[in-house]
Structure 1
Amino acid sequence: MAEPGPVTIVHVVDDDHDLGRAVARLLTRLGHRATAFENPVDMMNHQRNEQAHCLVTDIMMAELDGFAFAEQVRAQDPAIAIIFMTAWPSTANAVDAVRLYGGLDYLEKPLDEVRLAAAVAEGAGWSLKRRDALGRIGMLTPREREVFACLGEGMSNKLVASTLGLSPKTIEDHRAAIIMKTGAASPAALIALFRATQGA
């Protein structure tokens, strides 16, 4: 029998108390651990103790604009997926949500439950992958991170050495340490890990 996957945590922020709770109930029925918050500040305080994989947030809120809120959340936790929802959709805002503020999706109210479920599932998967990748590089030294970034761009050892002004032997030593710490043993694995840390 397959092992059950990790429980994904979703925070829902909407200053409409009833709507926020309704969305959280729906996500709970779908197997997520979902909590509704009316106040963005309360959610950020809670996030420090229980990191969510996915944030579903309204854009038009009385206390804090949803885009500004997303920037603060992303600064606090780069591995949280963000899904925006609004009753006042516009093409310009949709582009802003996805491109400028790290949003994964932009949903119009009343919410399409199928699309919401798909977006949260995708977001949780993205978050788990990125959080794992960031954890795997957490023990790298600053110099190893520089080398890792170059290797992640597909550079050869010789090109990394030239780019960073180091000897090829030093790059080989750093590469060996990176492989040992991250478990990414092949060039393809290093590139994939680097892309995951970038949210790709």
Structure 2
Amino acid sequence: MNDRGDDLAHGLVYVVDDDQDLGAAVARLLVRHGHAAKAFLDPVPLLDVYSQAPAHCVVTDVMMGDIDGFDFADRIRIVDPCVAIIFMTAWPTTANAVDSVRRYGGLDYLEKPIDEDRLLAAIAEGVGWSRTQRTALARTAMLTPRQRQVFDLLVMGHNNQAIAAVLDISPKTVEDHRAAIVAKTGTNGIAQLIALSR
């Protein structure tokens, strides 16, 4: 039986690859290492059902049919900004490697045949990142629209007076909103609020 720490290291992972054997093999590897994993041949069926069971991590091939891995990443991020994405390809290029991280928010860019240790390390990092993002999103989701405005300005480094001027409210009202934000998010100070916003 896994202890709580092990449970938190494992997550739901979807593998998308138009090579059925490779996708299934990657999914089996992940299951052997404690993850819940499912392979998809095509990103479209996954996009159709994704909102019913959001994943912690998606491993996707770059070169696929109508929707390539980068287009798929753009679409999945609209549905779920808290999912970690790992790209894999048999045809690596430096440009794609850079784009996968900078443009498409990929956690890693793996060359086929897949290095299992590197994949498992990336998945573990992705699951941890996803859990952190989901927790932060849940904590800030409780804020009212005005509290969210104050929160956004706070984490940008604005003081109470500057926030009051931007929002056309009194500094005392800003202080009240700050107190409510701290209470709702369970944070203690600006550093924790900034960490929550990342």
TM-score, normalised via structure 1 length: 0.93
Cα distance in 2 between the residues matched to 1:94 and 1:53: 22
Cα distance in 2 between the residues matched to 1:2 and 1:163: 48
RMSD, aligned CA: 1.4
**Structure 1 letter corresponding to 2:66:** E
**Structure 1 letter corresponding to 2:76:** V
Q: Secondary structure at the match of 1:178?
A: helix
Match of 2:149 among 141, 146, 149: 146
**Aligned equivalent of 2:4:** 3
Match of 1:95 among 75, 88, 98: 98
- Does 2:51 correspond to 1:48? yes
Cα distance in 2 between the residues matched to 1:46 and 1:53: 15
Cα distance in 2 between the residues matched to 1:40 and 1:127: 20
User: Does the Cα contact within 8 Å between 1:57 and 1:82 map onto a contact in 2?
Assistant: yes
**Structure 1 letter corresponding to 2:102:** R
In the TM superposition, 1:1-200 aligns within 5 A as 3-4=4-5, 5-6=7-8, 7-195=10-198
Q: Secondary structure at the match of 1:126?
A: helix
Q: Kindly, what percent of the aligned residue pairs are identical?
A: 59
* Superimposed CA distance per residue, residues 143-167 of structure 1 (whole angstroms, 9 cap, x where no aligned partner): 1111101111232222222232221
Note the C-alpha offset of 1:63: 2.8
Q: Which runs of 5+ in 2 are unaligned?
A: none
**Structure 2 letter corresponding to 1:86:** T
* Superimposed CA distance per residue, residues 80-137 of structure 1 (whole angstroms, 9 cap, x where no aligned partner): 0000000000000111110001111100000011110111111111100001100111
Cα distance in 1 between the residues matched to 2:116 and 2:87: 14
Question: Judging changes above 3 Å, is the alpha-carbon distance between structure 1 residues 2 and 35 closer, same or farther for their aligned structure 2 residues?
Answer: closer
**Structure 2 letter corresponding to 1:159:** A
